[in-house]
Homo-oligomer: A and B are copies of this chain.
């Protein structure tokens, strides 16, 4: 039943491509990074990139998932308040702070990803985040439309807003205000 193992050269190329993408998005003198440039930087042919990742959205998705992986682990297994055990209000605030931090540190990936995959509701990372927030909201308040409240809270992570704040060096405002919003919604912790 085991998935056939990825060939060694293929794994090497996958890593090289992801690293090249990160590099090019980091030195974002150019704000539009064509796949061909990524391939060149990684030292592979353009066809290889598409063979590995399907399309532009697939490549960015893989990159973002790697960045989000550590957060997911901390949420599922880590210590409170991010991990299980703390009251939902605290977990929610911790989670929102963590995602804002993640988004801030990876703003280039986020914006490129949003461009390439316009429907976030179909994207695995977003679905996980949303489901987590939805659950916490529902736990704390059963009289709200938790599903929608979760979408609204996560709406603050859209690349344009985060970028707007980063440009002014004020990304911490988002954490503060989001906390005020969630406290107002769920009621302050006792």
Contact = CB atoms under 8 A, between A and B. Distances in A.
Nearest to A146: B177
Contacts of A121: 160-161, 164
A178 interface: yes
Interface residues of A, number: 29
A30 to B, nearest CB: 15
Contacts of A151: 156, 161, 164
A160 B120 CA distance: 7
A124 to B, nearest CB: 15
Contact of A181 (B120, B160, B178, B185): B185
Nearest to A187: B184
